[in-house]
Structure 1
């Protein structure tokens, strides 16, 4: 597909995510330079190359838009009306250990919120995408509507730091909650591909702590889940992006309410502890 200024934002998000996914797939398993980010975190040459492929495509099609990349930082005004958020390789630790559980995330934030997004799986030829109103998964060029479902009972819990809501909430403590073990089956994949899987009915829910405002990691998955009809809130059940509120994404209100109650009991226990 020729990428021009006339291409719709959602199609541009899909094309850019797939461009990044191609780089990630082609560089998989090769010896890669690591760029130290401190605190045990790092990027690889694949992160950098994939981000370049994504941003080059967006720059060509939307030269006036601002960019925020996981590796390259911000380009353009911080208060721009249109900003593209890019995480070129979500799951770098997995990837470096030759695990294929990764995602390539692209999202557009405008004055109206997240209006286009795509989260690509480089190794399954899938991209989960939204135009801000509808949510689909594209496989072999064919789009299918995303339909959330809690039937699997699988809940992904992100255990990666930082944990800004500790000790009021700790993800590891949620996994040890007997009520959680009775109601759900935990999964820990360490990639935001699992957020899109909630929209696809492959996960019942996803839970993480952290700062979500302009998050290059979570923006695409959040946009896809919202468009698919998932319940998306912070850890307190309120709107997202209001400080370090964390995230609960659930396939339905019942699953969300159950998880919200478990998180709330953590907070109550923390307040009553000596």
Structure 2
């Protein structure tokens, strides 16, 4: 199969690579795994490493002139390569190591096609940059992704650190009266949730952070959401990955109304925090 990918589209290469990683993740599930400490409570397992190698095998065979940036192995390939693949071989390592099946395998060509594979459902979410679809079943049946906010479920990433604090922490949304009235929180701790927003299984996804457009964790999910027609910005409302100031963190919503409602809660929190800081600074001055 790998040999035949030389003539395949970049979208199919992304899908094949993500599925290769997903097969490793699925096959080794439930075993005792060795851990590689990354510091600050973060770690990788032997499965992360093996899945990344399986993904790289596909990309190297299909696109030998491209560079690859993997979460575990860093950047590899020709230094002057014009194209770069971003790879997160096991998004949700802590879930996986604890026996939970909420994980994803993310592969994306920077500013191009992307694939997010769910190792346990067998689904792979795809985009060629223009449209988005999900492939599932033994026959590889496909259907377009259709975001909708009907579930009213919003995934909120609660993992520290919180670089936008005290102006904004995603965890603060859970105590906002407007959030409780309009949405129900979910925490899956994996960017599989971004694929679910694109597929209409979640109304939105919110996380703190810097510019996530070039992140091995988030880039594939962002590409899916954009291609599916979701509204995607930073928590400050700025475009993500535009090179403009701002664009930190991520709010990916199924529609403009959901995005506007979430931003009203986030923006209000930030304004109140800034006002409080200014008042305190005035008193102390």
TM-score band w.r.t. shorter chain? over 0.9
Q: Deviations over 1:182-217 (max 9, x none)?
A: 010000110000000000000000000112141000
Deviation, 1:65, is 0.5
The equivalent position to 1:120 in structure 2, one of 117, 120, 136, is 117
Query: Which sections of structure 2, spanning at least 5 residues, go unmatched?
Result: 281-285
CA contact (8 A) 1:210 1:244 kept: no
Instruction: Report how many aligned residue pairs link the two structures.
Output: 270
Structure 1 equivalent of residue 218 of structure 2: 218
Which one has the bigger helix percentage? Answer: 2
| Contact 1:165 1:244 survives alignment (8 Å) | no
1:78, distance to aligned residue in structure 2 (A): 6.5
Q: Which residue of the partner structure matches residue 108 of structure 1?
A: 109
How far apart are 1:224 and its partner, in Å?
0.7
Which has the higher mean CA deviation after the structures are superposed, 69-78 or 57-66?
69-78
Contact (CA 8 Å) 1:232, 1:247: kept in 2 or not? Answer: yes
Normalising by structure 1, report the TM-score. Answer: 0.96
Q: Larger strand proportion, structure 1 or 2? A: 1
Alignment root-mean-square deviation, CA: 1.3
Q: Does 1:257 align with 2:254?
A: no
Tell me how far 1:102 sits from its aligned partner.
0.2
Pairs within 5 Å for 1:112-151: 113=111, 115-140=112-137, 141-151=140-150
Question: Are 2:204 and 2:258, in contact at CA under 8 Å, matched by a contact in 1?
Answer: yes
Task: Answer yes or no: is the 8 Å Cα contact 1:232–1:249 preserved in 2.
Answer: yes
Q: What is the Cα deviation at residue 125 of structure 1?
A: 0.8
Q: Counterparts of 1:127 and 1:28 in 2: how far apart (Å)?
A: 18
TM-score (norm 2): 0.92
Matched residues in 2 for 1:75 and 1:175: separation? 40
Stretches of structure 1 lacking an aligned partner (at least 5 in a row): none
SS state of the match for residue 54, structure 2?
Answer: helix
Q: Distance in 1 between matches of 2:81 and 2:267?
A: 36
Q: Give, in whole Å, the separation in 1 of the partners of 2:144 and 2:247.
A: 32
Q: Mark the structure with the bigger radius of gyration.
A: 2
